Structure 1
Amino acid sequence: MTTPKAKKSFAQWQDDALSNILSATLDNTNPKRSTRCYLKGVADELRSEGIAVLITTQVFERVLVARLDEDMVAASGISVFEYLVGSWQMSQTVVSNLRGAKGKALDLAVREARVKALGEAQLLLVSYMGLSLQIPDMFPQLGRSGRAIMADALLADPNANPLAEQLPELLSQMAARFANDGLPEVIAPVISELGLRSLQRANRSLLQPGFRSILAALDTLTTNRQIAAAIPHMATFDPEDCNGRRMQTGTALGPFLALSGFPAGDESIAKVYYSDAPQRSHQDRESLHTSLRTTVQFLQSALFEIVNRLIRSGPGERTLTLQLTLRMLATNALRSGMQVDFTKVVDDGFADNLASVWMRLSEPFTNDASLSRLSRVDPDWVTLRALRSVRDGGLDDDQNHISTYWRELTRIDADKEQIDAYLEQQLRDQMPSDGGFIPDCFFVTAVALHLGFVSTIARYIEMMKRIGRFKSEIERVTNSPGMLTPAQRANLPVVMQRWESQLQDMKREKYAMDAQMLDPRRLICAMVFYRFVICFLLRQVDGQGAFPQQAFTMPPESGEKAGEKWRMLPEFLVEDAIEFVVFVTTYAPDVLTDSTAQVGQGGNGLRMFDDVLPLLVVTFLARPKLIRNPYLKAKLVDILHFLTYRDPREDDDYVDTLGGNIPGNIRLHPSIQQFQANLDSNALARAYLVPALLRFYVDIEQTGSSSQFFEKFTTRYYIARSLRALWARAPRYVEVTRRFFMQSGLGTSEATTTGSTRRDQRVIEEFVTRLMTDTTYLLDESLSKLAVIRDIEKKPAEAAGDNDDASRLEDAERMARSFVSLAHETVHMLAFLSRLVPRPFQASEIVSRLAAMLNYNLQQLAGPKCSNLKVQDMQKYSFNPRVLLSELTSVYVHLGLRTSKQSAAALSEETEAIDRFVMAVAEDDRSYSQALFDKAYFILEQRSLKSTQSLARLREFAHKCQSAKVDSRAMLFLESEAPDNYLDPLLASLMTNPVRLPTSDNIMELSAIKGQLLSDPRDPFNRAPLSVDMLEPLPELKREIAEWRERKLAEYQSRQ
């Protein structure tokens, strides 16, 4: 009969279980434990202390420490951390058994006691694991490090790595053990190891699968709330000595944020992924884009989840994460510059990922269709951040470079002295210490986009221009081999092969950039955010300050009501919103009308494209004092031009000119029609848009840019094209234009409905002057460049290989394309407006110069040298001299002949204005001749450019000029007989309305000095500042001259 097996005591069970877990024993007589490490020293100590020589929880730590002795570790052939992990895994297996089917056979109390004992053992194992991560030198460093083992487990497939399957439990125990005892120091080495692996070539590319495992590892770590809360407290999370480009490698999150879908961050994207893209179809390239975009979306979604967990883990952790982001942005401020040194700042991918994360974080309030939390954003947030470093307990304490960044931001309408004064005032006042997460998130997202996607836009556009220039050069050389020297022609095949290879590389980079820059998902997210930004800006200037909860009201023209908070806002808020809309309008217009981009989620709020964008354009053009930077206002004109676009090849509205193009041949994007309809239905646009454009045509004379002289012409061209589109589409805009030019000192109520103001009389005078001087300059430049092109084209082939000629031709062609288009549009606007509102163009102060300008350009277009204007390919430069001639001659008729029946008083005034213009044309001795009008008439008739009635009116005007030429002899007699004090000192002409210049005490003709002051507001004699309202009338001298003139005219006529 078999003797029953004696039951083990609890102490004996512990000894068996813990001995097995630790692979150690205190009993060297037990043959079952012969393979385990015998810890003789511990056994002897226990005997001497009178303690049972058994491994129990009471002596577990002593046994564990002895087992971790260097000799023991060396003998086992594994590292300390591997041993601890293995022991913990063994203990976890035992716990699982106890809680599983095997444990059910035990008494509940026995089972729980055993589980508790194992829990105590696991706690110690986890403690020593954490210590070995915190202080690696604490134990012998043999074999693989703890950080590497943990990283391997995090990266491994659970089916291939036993620890990977048990990792969530281990992390949970580790987090619980070190929650208040150095968890950041425990977890930091593991995250650093993951970061190092992320920087390895195999894991750095989105084209390889390695990066997914690394992101999954981070996801596993941050899923544990305690670990997520510990990460922001790690020393490596935001190290003080790390800034600029080092943020990519020197911070805990940097290597993961540096994962990039941009070609600059991963060369293999352009060189490998898009290697054959130039040869593929558009559909194939779109498939490539979609695949890469999906990968980037996975990356950015994973990064968002990670950062979101850090922020949500607690208020302190949110503050630390926010501060890290602020430092990342502040120390990479140079990314927004024109010439970026990427050895000093983070890559596009890093900046884009950071912006993407914060855009997602802002979605709960920006994606709200009703924008109900817009009021939560304090416009003084930037001021608050700039003051944090001088306030106790502030977010940016000891982070002076962050407050410096906020201090030095360019503001909407404040210089450095004003900013400093405002900051000092706010320091004296009581400011709130924290506005909550919404304003933090809003402004951080705005800055992240400013230094991320928006800064990349400029480089993308420059890349597109570079490719365009390179292709043009290839085409020029291919089409004009005669411009090369014999040696260059001989080497041309080799050069062309090299150039074609370079062009293919440029295209690959372009396609790689397209995948990111034109990604609809990214653009829609940004559009939703900028809808919020624009509404925030409009709220600050709204006449009632209640937008969008109430309808927007136009602010006063002075801009004073917006107040200091508006003026102190960062300029980039306005600039980025405009730049982004211009970019989307130009390169991805489909996004404009996307339903999500329009109103976010919900569907019934303010629509970005239909409601918000028209308000932005109209408000800041109509109230230019709100924004100091003319470049930003010019960008608003860009938006308007692109969204009211009408292709010049379809123009069919030439003034008093037969023929024209047939509209409808050029297919425009549907968004253009939609935007135009929105404008037409917008009451503010109907009232304010045309006057605003006409004023800005004058104001854009100064842009503040080094290239402002040429930039102003582009902006004026866009204004002219936008006005042309408005005039052609709706009679309402024509009427507003007419009322604007005809008004003089409107009352307040009328100004409200027309958008005109009392200052517009000066604007009208300056507008006419600008239009006149622009016409002269642009036509002169256009015709001179075309003459250069013609001269070079006429050279014989054997003389064409001159490098100087090639360079001159290239420059002349480039400038001709620009100047010809500008000249055509300026002449058209002159013709249209002179017909609509002739009186401003007949004003005495400008009529002589206008007549001289018209005569000079008529001589260019119809004079003896007009045949020199013909080049080989007129369409290449959009040059149509016949239309130019026809519209230019229509100006003579509009200003020199009566157009309609009027009252007696109006008729008298019109007759005086017409006579003044006719006399000015006839008195122009430099260019006027009757033969010139005869030649113009012949060309117009021969080419059927005008109707019979129009030609008859042109001939009638020419006859009037011929008659006036005879009358002008009397004026020459008067000027020859007049005393010096009756003559204008600059023009030597007889004065009719003399005025005194108080700044120099000289006397001039009123019309002459007014014309002078329109272009230069200074006294012509001593350059002192002078304005029209300072001029002093001289009624006595005026009467004296008039009486003398009457006597002398009678004398002249008696001699005839």
Structure 2
Amino acid sequence: MTSRVLNLGLMKAISDFKHISQQLARFEDDLESNRAVRDQGGGSPQLEQDITRLEKIVEILSQDKLCYEAQILRDGAFLQRALSFYRLMILWSVNLVGGFKMPLPSQCSKEFACIPEHFLDDAMDLLVLTSRIPKALESFVLDDFLSFIIMFMGSTSYIKNPYLRAKMVEVLNCWMPQRSGLSSTASLFEGHQLCLDYLVRNLLKLYVDIEFTGSHTQFFDKFNIRHNIAELLEYLWDVPSHRNAWRQIAKEEEKGVYLNFLNFLINDSIYLLDESLNKILELKEIEAEMTNTVEWERRPAQEREERLRVFHQWENIVRFDMRLANEDVGMLAFTSEQIPAPFLLPEMVERVASMLNYFLLQLAGPQRKSLTVKDPEKYEFKPKQLLKQVPNCHHLCPYLKGRQGICLPSCNLERWQSIQRSVVC
């Protein structure tokens, strides 16, 4: 009964608050983009009407957001009581599967399967919200929530909804010490035995599982979810006990989950980099059009405004894709350097060779000078950094070079160093 009341009351308000915040951010982006178009020479009556309309919407949504913040976020004691209730509900749920023990029973109990999904979903939503409020969790014990998340995050048998499992990663992401601002969260990740034994394993499993969510937006959703997972994995890599667990998983799951993880990581790296570089070429084309001021001014105002809107839209896409590409290439670099064996499996060597040659061709090949833009840092386009990371895979080259059908014409350290010196940013 209490859970249902919270679902219809507090959690409905939190859902509305989240929706308003997302809408506000979207309209603020649109307003900023339209103002940028106006500042760059656009000034049609329609554009001015759009700016006025967006300003009114932003003002209304800002007021709504402040009202929700005053009602929900200011009452810390109420949020603490709600968290205490959800902690008890989590303990009750875990007791249905035999307590905080791993691995989980292979067969999901009927009692656990009958739990309404919103019981768990609401708990995660509240944790995400409170984790982003300064000091809201300062005196709250999070161990039981952490154990629950680790136990069920990697299990499709117990929690079939991939978005609920992804929400668990979002909670952990908020708890990373550099983000939470709480010293207690470091001990959660670095001293909790269940965390040390299973967190990396289940994160890698979810990274693979999230490829297919069943949603019509699954292709784009996976990048956001994997971004959260990658941030956690990067943090855990710097914790010696978690790095040792990672090595052990790579050995045990060399031809299972870990191989799938590497395949998806390579796929994402190539796709994101390719999309980003293609969009950079299109941005350069519009930049060139604007540089030719005589021809640019001859165009109808509406056409100029449309081109500028496209320009700012692509800027946002490139910035997002490049951030993820940098992240993925960085993860490939440190994992291949420290755990090379999976990259040298017969089913992987050709893919790895193709990937290395692809990165070399795109970042330091003949077309590299065509990728120069006015402000590469604005797009998080860092070719020198990428080329410093890719050579971390260089130690694989002697192994790859002798394999039948593997062509690595540029795979030697001297060539890599020469390329790094010649990159134009």
Q: TM-score, normalised by structure 1?
A: 0.37
Match of 1:472 among 29, 54, 57: 29
Match of 2:261 among 767, 771, 783: 767
Letter in 2 for 1:775: S
Aligned equivalent of 1:810: 312
Structure 2 residue 10 is matched with structure 1 residue 453: yes
**Is the 1:637–1:718 Cα contact (8 Å) retained in structure 2?**
yes
CA distance in 2, matches of 1:454, 1:727: 35
CA pair 931-773 structure 1, distance change in 2 beyond 3 A: closer
Match of 1:719 among 229, 237, 241: 229
Aligned equivalent of 2:215: 705
CA distance in 2, matches of 1:645, 1:462: 27
CA pair 935-478 structure 1, distance change in 2 beyond 3 A: farther
Deviation string 1:807-828 (CA, Å, 9 cap, x unpaired) is 4223312322221111111111
- Identical-pair percentage: 31
Deviation string 1:683-723 (CA, Å, 9 cap, x unpaired) is 11111111111122111111122211111112112111101
Match runs of 1:949-988 below 5 Å: none
Match runs of 1:148-297 below 5 Å: none
Aligned equivalent of 1:538: 94
Match of 1:618 among 150, 163, 172: 150
Residue 475 of structure 1 and its aligned partner are, at CA, apart by 2.3
CA distance in 1, matches of 2:112, 2:26: 41
Residue 863 of structure 1 and its aligned partner are, at CA, apart by 1.0
CA distance in 1, matches of 2:337, 2:212: 29
CA pair 920-790 structure 1, distance change in 2 beyond 3 A: farther
CA distance in 2, matches of 1:878, 1:775: 15
Aligned equivalent of 2:343: 841
Residue 541 of structure 1 and its aligned partner are, at CA, apart by 2.0
Larger radius of gyration: 1
Structure 2 residue 147 is matched with structure 1 residue 592: no
**Is the 1:792–1:809 Cα contact (8 Å) retained in structure 2?**
yes
Match runs of 1:74-93 below 5 Å: none
Gaps of 5+ in 1: 1-443, 546-551, 599-606, 647-667, 745-759, 898-913, 944-1056
Structure 2 residue 104 is matched with structure 1 residue 556: yes
Letter in 2 for 1:687: D
CA distance in 1, matches of 2:404, 2:323: 27
Letter in 1 for 2:333: A
CA distance in 1, matches of 2:195, 2:156: 15
Residue 574 of structure 1 and its aligned partner are, at CA, apart by 1.2
Structure 2 residue 401 is matched with structure 1 residue 918: yes
Residue 935 of structure 1 and its aligned partner are, at CA, apart by 6.5
CA distance in 2, matches of 1:921, 1:510: 62
**Is the 1:859–1:932 Cα contact (8 Å) retained in structure 2?**
no
Residue 625 of structure 1 and its aligned partner are, at CA, apart by 2.4
**Is the 2:259–2:342 Cα contact (8 Å) retained in structure 1?**
yes
Match of 1:793 among 272, 277, 287: 287
Deviation string 1:244-290 (CA, Å, 9 cap, x unpaired) is xxxxxxxxxxxxxxxxxxxxxxxxxxxxxxxxxxxxxxxxxxxxxxx
Letter in 2 for 1:782: S
CA pair 501-769 structure 1, distance change in 2 beyond 3 A: closer
CA distance in 2, matches of 1:451, 1:508: 23
Residue 871 of structure 1 and its aligned partner are, at CA, apart by 2.7
With a CA cutoff of 8 Å and minimum separation of 6, indicate the structure with the bigger relative contact order. Answer: 2
Runs of 4+ aligned residues of structure 1 deviating over 6 Å after TM superposition are: 931-935
**Is the 1:483–1:805 Cα contact (8 Å) retained in structure 2?**
no
CA distance in 2, matches of 1:783, 1:771: 18
CA pair 888-451 structure 1, distance change in 2 beyond 3 A: same
Gaps of 5+ in 2: none
RMSD, matched Cα: 2.8
> Structure 1 or 2: larger helix share?
2
Aligned equivalent of 2:81: 525
Residue 777 of structure 1 and its aligned partner are, at CA, apart by 0.9
Residue 621 of structure 1 and its aligned partner are, at CA, apart by 2.3
CA pair 630-499 structure 1, distance change in 2 beyond 3 A: closer
Aligned equivalent of 2:171: 639
Residue 635 of structure 1 and its aligned partner are, at CA, apart by 0.9
Structure 2 residue 421 is matched with structure 1 residue 938: no
Q: TM-score, normalised by structure 2?
A: 0.89
CA distance in 2, matches of 1:847, 1:613: 41
Letter in 2 for 1:833: T
CA distance in 2, matches of 1:721, 1:820: 15
Q: How many residues align?
A: 416
Match of 1:894 among 392, 395, 410: 395
Aligned equivalent of 2:125: 579
CA distance in 2, matches of 1:839, 1:935: 24
CA distance in 1, matches of 2:384, 2:348: 27
Aligned equivalent of 1:196: none
CA pair 457-894 structure 1, distance change in 2 beyond 3 A: farther
Residue 862 of structure 1 and its aligned partner are, at CA, apart by 0.6
Residue 674 of structure 1 and its aligned partner are, at CA, apart by 1.8
CA pair 719-467 structure 1, distance change in 2 beyond 3 A: same
CA pair 495-635 structure 1, distance change in 2 beyond 3 A: closer
**Is the 1:821–1:878 Cα contact (8 Å) retained in structure 2?**
yes
Structure 2 residue 62 is matched with structure 1 residue 507: yes
CA distance in 2, matches of 1:695, 1:727: 16
Structure 2 residue 71 is matched with structure 1 residue 516: yes
CA distance in 1, matches of 2:41, 2:7: 46
Structure 2 residue matching 1:702: 3-state secondary structure: coil
Aligned equivalent of 1:755: none
CA pair 776-453 structure 1, distance change in 2 beyond 3 A: same
**Is the 2:177–2:185 Cα contact (8 Å) retained in structure 1?**
no
Letter in 2 for 1:895: L
**Is the 2:272–2:322 Cα contact (8 Å) retained in structure 1?**
yes
**Is the 2:250–2:258 Cα contact (8 Å) retained in structure 1?**
yes
**Is the 2:86–2:123 Cα contact (8 Å) retained in structure 1?**
yes
CA distance in 1, matches of 2:214, 2:125: 18
**Is the 2:189–2:196 Cα contact (8 Å) retained in structure 1?**
yes
Letter in 2 for 1:682: H
Residue 866 of structure 1 and its aligned partner are, at CA, apart by 1.4
CA distance in 2, matches of 1:460, 1:628: 26
**Is the 1:557–1:625 Cα contact (8 Å) retained in structure 2?**
no
CA pair 867-453 structure 1, distance change in 2 beyond 3 A: farther
Residue 579 of structure 1 and its aligned partner are, at CA, apart by 1.5
Structure 1 residue matching 2:215: 3-state secondary structure: coil
Deviation string 1:496-539 (CA, Å, 9 cap, x unpaired) is 45543443222222211111131323322211211112112222
CA pair 895-531 structure 1, distance change in 2 beyond 3 A: same
Residue 932 of structure 1 and its aligned partner are, at CA, apart by 10
**Is the 1:695–1:763 Cα contact (8 Å) retained in structure 2?**
yes
Structure 1 residue matching 2:115: 3-state secondary structure: coil
CA pair 567-862 structure 1, distance change in 2 beyond 3 A: same
CA distance in 1, matches of 2:23, 2:252: 47
CA distance in 2, matches of 1:624, 1:674: 30
Residue 896 of structure 1 and its aligned partner are, at CA, apart by 2.1
CA distance in 1, matches of 2:381, 2:219: 23
Aligned equivalent of 1:734: 243
**Is the 2:397–2:412 Cα contact (8 Å) retained in structure 1?**
no
Residue 762 of structure 1 and its aligned partner are, at CA, apart by 1.5
Residue 615 of structure 1 and its aligned partner are, at CA, apart by 0.7
Aligned equivalent of 1:211: none
Structure 2 residue 366 is matched with structure 1 residue 864: yes
Residue 933 of structure 1 and its aligned partner are, at CA, apart by 8.1
